[in-house]
Structure 1
Amino acid sequence: MRRFTLTTMLLAGMFLLTQQGLSRAESSGKTATGYVFHDANQNRKFDAGEKTLPGVAVSNGLKVVRTDENGKYELPVTDDTILFVIKPRNWRTPLSKNLTPEFYYIHKPKGSPKSHFAGVAPTGPLPKSVDFPLYPQKEPNQFRALFFGDPQPRDQKEIDYIAHDVIEDLVGTDASFGVTLGDILFDDLSLFESQARGIALLGIPWYNVIGNHDINYDAPNDKLSDETFERAFGPSYYSFDYGTVHFIVLDDIEWIVTDESKKNKKKKGKYQGGLGKEQIEFVKNDLQQIPEDQLVVLMMHIPLVGVEDRQDLYRLIEKRPFCMSISGHTHHHEHRFITKEDGWRGAKPHHHIINVTVSGSWWSGAPDERGIPHTMMADGAPNGYSIITFDGKEYNLDFRAAGRAAKYQMNIIAPEAVTVDQVAETNVMVNVFNGSEKSKVEMQIGESGSWAPMERIVAIDPSFKKLSETENGVEEKSYRNLPKAKNSTHLWQAKLPDGLKPGTHLLRIRTVEMDGDEHVAGRVIRITPAKPSEKTASTEK
């Protein structure tokens, strides 16, 4: 009877562990232990007398545990596990010489398998104690962060473009940290170091999201596609706190190698937007540590609506009243509001930002006076970056065009001159780069004119279409063709008001964005006398 009872208890215990998400790591029998501590002498070693930190979250990429009253944690590991501390508020992790956060320990005793670009070197046996040093810092409720979409340099020349087009203007920024939202590079993973060195000139911690151009294309499966990224930056998904906000970095690049690809060495695999069960489990366990009234920001590369298993993620975040997400990848700027049409079950639509890209349209188009391609994006917006101000549960995104003043927020599309009899038939368009369906856009002629509403449309930006046709039509050019124009979600149009008299007029556009920011821009337009008709001209003769 006792034997049956023990067997039953063991089976029940195994079932309970399975229900809680038993992983390969937990079944391997290896356990990592260590401490999270205040590294008072900043030598990255846990020395006698240094204070341990209880209640700090630590993860193995699946489970999330908190340090006990002695600052100690325990987590199961395999021979391919990255342990990482989840940075708490008012503490920072060590930084590399390039200011990338070093919040992790990679356990790969035999290292990464051989690949075209080097992965992780063998790490040897699991240390007796894997400790995580932290350093105190003040983190106010209100702070700013920089967001780079797709810098995507092919070579050192394009890394230099980034330095001159974006980095130089941002030196001295008051942002607390920055994030690259994937496609850090354009396939040549040997350039991770050089790219990081340039961004480090900003003098702030810099986090990285993995993109589809940042993976090992010769990897036989998704698990091994991140080896070079891991060597450079650590885990491909993780989380951290800053101020009152909880940030989650996601790896939504799923690398698929079919049996046919394995047989044909010349045929590579393919990628799709995907998270996978283990990452979903990590997000679930991570969010269980986060109060529902705390703002959560998800950062990824492929836009959320392009992720195959996004419904699993929706179930984890849709009941949270304060949650937003941001991505890159598509090389245009857009505010998406995810609704029940995409399977979202939340009380209100989820706000997802597809961020402007640093590389614009992949460093294409004619070079400017600096020798840098103007690289306008296919939605008619310039290349650039975003600055997001966080304040408690609120956030506010500011669009910044590379190499331009902060006030450059729109492009007004109107003719140079209009005859007085054609005024009422003349269309004015404006591309409000950070505009969305929640923006209010109005037009005014002259200082005393009334503000008239403009109509939002989804269409091709005519200025980009004209520019791309002109530049792409040049023969034997030294620059890359611009991409095919795509529909812009931030275009507005209106007719000129009837009754304008001949003369030079100031046309002004005013936009109020969803976060209340107001921007005004102007364009000079001439109204000329009506041309005499053929009949009138003949009579005069």
Structure 2
Amino acid sequence: MTTTFKIIVFYCCLGISFFSNAQTLDVWLQGTVSNKNKTTNKKLKNIWVSNGDTLVKTDKKGFFKIPVKKGQVLFPILPSGYGHSNTKKWWYNIPSDFDSNTKIEIDFELQEIQEKKAFKFLAIGDIQVGDTNELLQATQSILKELLNRNDFEFSIYLGDLVNDTPELFLPLKKLVDDIKQPSWVVYGNHDRNFNTDKKNQSNLFRDNFGPDTYAFFRNNVLFVSLNSITPEGKYGYKGMYQDNQITFLSQLLKTVDPNQPIVISQHIPFVSMKNKQDIINILNPFKNVLFLTGHTHTAFRNNIKMPSGNIIHELTAGAVCGNWWTGQKNWEGIPLSLMSCGTPKGYFEIDFNNNNYSINYKGIDLPNSKQFSVWLGDYNGEPLSPLSKTNEFYVNVFSGSDSTKVSIKLSNQDIIYLKKERITDPFVNYIKRSQKEEKSPDKNSKKSPYLRTKSRHIWKGVFPNNLEKGYHKIEVLIQDPKLLDIKQSLWILKP
């Protein structure tokens, strides 16, 4: 089944509910939203439809009428219990030659899906492929892993699908569409087309992946995607919401309760947005807000307190390309790409259950148990070393935040509590030294840039001075309100 578009002359007047910041426009488009299956095509009432600015609701016969202008993208806002009949093309781009003489009726076809109280979706940071070789690396790492997973409902790609190479949109979309679970895509600063003026830089993205501003409900959670990119000059940009983003979010949230769980996805971290206060003012009454972002190629979490006392939880999901597809390649030709915060390339799993959620980091081709790294030797030493002479050691918790507690239990049941520090990850420090000394990577691999970043999720501890020589079994315990408890045993060697 596909979304149907018919160009017809349509003269009847419709009484339709709508929110609008663009009511002065004299060009209108109309259509229907339907629930289509093998035998029937039932029109659906009270379904919101938007152009990324204005919101209108279908009447009792399933009809809507909305003001539009060139360059906008039209889409229905899925209610819970519905999905798109055609997950590969669920939107309608307003034609460049659209004018008041063009009469178009659109039928957005939806289908019923099962609602769940417990479900998992994936938050996927920058793929950022810059050429066909990097696209191949993506197919044999992140995309292959997703292609063979059956335990999630959908994924959200958090922008920068390409690296200023929009000609790769078409093959990348084909690969993403081959993954059976639906995907939603966010617009990033490297997804722009610089062969046009700044007003139209997002057109190729919209043609391939749909609107840069949209929303849908899934299992009674509201998901919203915002465009965080405002162009400056031909190549520049700033993290700023444009007026239509603010209007869209404001209108949409007037339709839901303050207890509504809300997940907002955008590319640039919320804490870095220049006019984030405008969004805080809108979100202030809401008690359960999660922001998902990318852009920084590092993973970190923030809690932003609003005037009401409600908290915005922000998860910056890192990048599945890691440090831009750089570093020593493995035997299959995939670069190490360790992020500058010490996190392996990967993505986040978000598990909702009765409107509450937990998060889990998933390194590509790594087991689910790989939630942290441990450095035992001298800080300027090498990996896989015995305990340092100072007995100091470091634990990097990839999902860690200021709310995370890290402790070590010794075999005699003594407990060591670690202290959070803002330092460069020791594994990243090792790679930096190796590159400077030209020990790695080899000539077939690319050196990693930006290795001075101080990680936001490292904890430092010190073992007792009376620790005897030899191997000691220890237990690492990591606790956080948004994580399932992480408990893992390992050995350390006291020389």
> Larger % of helix: which?
1
Residue 240 of structure 1 contacts residue 246 of structure 1 at CA under 8 Å; is this kept in 2? yes
**1:236-255 alignment to 2 at 5 Å?**
236-255=212-231
Q: Deviations over 1:367-425 (max 9, x none)?
A: 11211110000011111011111123211111001111110111111023358xx5xx3
Q: CA deviation at 1:22?
A: 4.1
**Paired AA for residue 199 in structure 1:** V
Residue of structure 2 in register with 1:368 after alignment: 330
Structure 2 distance, partners of 1:142, 1:472, is: 48
Q: CA deviation at 1:34?
A: 1.2
Q: CA deviation at 1:50?
A: 2.6
Identity of aligned residues (%): 25
Residue of structure 2 in register with 1:105 after alignment: 92
With over 3 angstroms needed to count, the CA separation of the structure-2 counterparts of 1:417 and 1:231, relative to structure 1, is: closer
Residue 184 of structure 1 contacts residue 211 of structure 1 at CA under 8 Å; is this kept in 2? yes
Query: Which 10-residue stretch deviates more, 299-308 or 163-172?
Result: 163-172
Residue of structure 1 in register with 2:59 after alignment: 68
**1:91-102 alignment to 2 at 5 Å?**
91-95=82-86, 99-100=87-88, 102=89
Q: CA deviation at 1:363?
A: 0.6
Residue of structure 2 in register with 1:27 after alignment: 24
1:469 aligns with 2:469: no
Structure 1 distance, partners of 2:20, 2:62, is: 25
1:402 aligns with 2:364: yes
With over 3 angstroms needed to count, the CA separation of the structure-2 counterparts of 1:128 and 1:331, relative to structure 1, is: closer
With over 3 angstroms needed to count, the CA separation of the structure-2 counterparts of 1:39 and 1:417, relative to structure 1, is: closer
**1:97-246 alignment to 2 at 5 Å?**
99-100=87-88, 102-110=89-97, 126-170=102-146, 171-221=148-198, 223-246=199-222
Report the secondary structure of 2:168's partner residue: helix
With over 3 angstroms needed to count, the CA separation of the structure-2 counterparts of 1:124 and 1:479, relative to structure 1, is: farther
Q: 1:413 aligns with which of 364, 369, 375?
A: 375
Residue of structure 1 in register with 2:9 after alignment: none
Q: CA deviation at 1:276?
A: 0.8
Structure 1 distance, partners of 2:82, 2:100, is: 29
Q: Tell me the matched-pair count.
A: 466
**1:424-435 alignment to 2 at 5 Å?**
425-435=390-400
- Over the residues paired in the alignment, what is the CA RMSD in angstroms? 2.1
Residue of structure 1 in register with 2:8 after alignment: none
Report the secondary structure of 1:158's partner residue: helix
Structure 2 distance, partners of 1:141, 1:125, is: 47
With over 3 angstroms needed to count, the CA separation of the structure-2 counterparts of 1:71 and 1:301, relative to structure 1, is: same
With over 3 angstroms needed to count, the CA separation of the structure-2 counterparts of 1:472 and 1:155, relative to structure 1, is: farther
Residue of structure 1 in register with 2:445 after alignment: 479
Report the secondary structure of 2:159's partner residue: coil
Residue 458 of structure 1 contacts residue 488 of structure 1 at CA under 8 Å; is this kept in 2? yes
Structure 2 distance, partners of 1:375, 1:294, is: 38
Structure 2 distance, partners of 1:145, 1:164, is: 21
Q: CA deviation at 1:319?
A: 1.3
Structure 1 distance, partners of 2:437, 2:130, is: 24
Q: CA deviation at 1:523?
A: 4.2
**Paired AA for residue 473 in structure 1:** E
TM-score, structure 1 as length reference? 0.82
With over 3 angstroms needed to count, the CA separation of the structure-2 counterparts of 1:300 and 1:375, relative to structure 1, is: same
Tell which structure's C-alpha radius of gyration is larger.
Answer: 1
Report the secondary structure of 1:405's partner residue: coil
Structure 2 distance, partners of 1:30, 1:200, is: 33
Q: Deviations over 1:109-152 (max 9, x none)?
A: 43xxxxxxxxxxx8996444222111111121211111110001
Residue of structure 2 in register with 1:495 after alignment: 462
Report the secondary structure of 2:237's partner residue: strand
1:288 aligns with 2:254: yes
Residue 20 of structure 2 contacts residue 55 of structure 2 at CA under 8 Å; is this kept in 1? no
Structure 2: runs of 5+ lacking an equivalent: 1-18, 378-384
Report the secondary structure of 1:526's partner residue: strand
TM-score, structure 2 as length reference? 0.89
Structure 2 distance, partners of 1:82, 1:173, is: 31
Structure 2 distance, partners of 1:516, 1:333, is: 15
Residue 399 of structure 1 contacts residue 434 of structure 1 at CA under 8 Å; is this kept in 2? yes
Residue of structure 2 in register with 1:452 after alignment: 416
Residue of structure 2 in register with 1:322 after alignment: 288
Residue of structure 2 in register with 1:527 after alignment: 494
Residue of structure 2 in register with 1:260 after alignment: none
Residue 472 of structure 1 contacts residue 481 of structure 1 at CA under 8 Å; is this kept in 2? no
